[in-house]
Amino acid sequence: MAISVGDTLPDVKLIKVGESGPEPVQSSEYFAGKKVAFFAVPGAFTPTCSAKHLPGFVDKAEEFKAKGIDEIVCTSVNDAFVMGAWGKAAEASDVTLLADGNADFAKAVDLTMDGSGFGMGTRSQRYSMVVNDGVVEQLNVEAPGSFEVSSAEHMLGQL
């Protein structure tokens, strides 16, 4: 069963894209004590993710902070090196990128998709959530092929 509003995030290892390279983090520790605008994309450098999803959060970072968000976090089923390159290419210094290279987090929240038809294997569905001290306060899961409810603009309207 997919994660729901009111659930605590699963405790899974993710890889933070740091200035000195990949840094392993435990999700239970990472999300503790802060309010996070969290979104997931099917893949770094993919069309909608690169043209709309990540740039929306980059452009609206100050608005999120003004509404009480401590951090903006993006995850994808990519390795940390790809996520790091994507963050640099998108000038996404206001967004923390957490690599979910083995899809452990995507599987743990039961929000995976089968991208094998595109040669991508198991990927994360596109979604966004507000996480407060590790607990899901809002959850917006996109219908397959859609980009509406997980956008930065939609999330800002919910805050």
CATH number at residue 150: 3.40.30.10
Closest CA to 113 of 52, 46, 158, 56: 46
85, two tokens: 């390159």
Range of the domain at 94: 13-158
Question: Span 105-123, mean pLDDT?
Answer: 84
Q: Assess if residue 67 is contained within a domain.
A: yes
CA 91/CA 77 separation, integer angstroms: 20
Residue located via tokens 């909608």: 48
Q: Assess if residue 73 is contained within a domain.
A: yes
pLDDT-wise least confident of 8-12, 35-39, 49-53, 76-80: 49-53
Residue 121 has pLDDT above 70, yes or no: no
Question: Span 144-152, mean pLDDT?
Answer: 91
Question: Span 89-110, mean pLDDT?
Answer: 95
Query: pLDDT above 90 covers what percent of the chain?
Result: 75
Q: Assess if residue 1 is contained within a domain.
A: no
Question: Span 17-21, mean pLDDT?
Answer: 83
Q: Assess if residue 146 is contained within a domain.
A: yes
CA 94/CA 28 separation, integer angstroms: 21
CA 96/CA 107 separation, integer angstroms: 20
Q: Assess if residue 78 is contained within a domain.
A: yes
pLDDT band at 43 (very low <50, low <70, confident <90, very high): confident
Q: Which one from 3, 49, 136, 155 is the annotated catalytic residue? A: 49
pLDDT value at residue 47:
72
Q: Assess if residue 123 is contained within a domain.
A: yes
* pTM tops 0.85, yes or no: yes
Q: Is 74 noted as a catalytic residue in this protein?
A: no
Say how many domains are in the chain.
1
Q: Assess if residue 6 is contained within a domain.
A: no
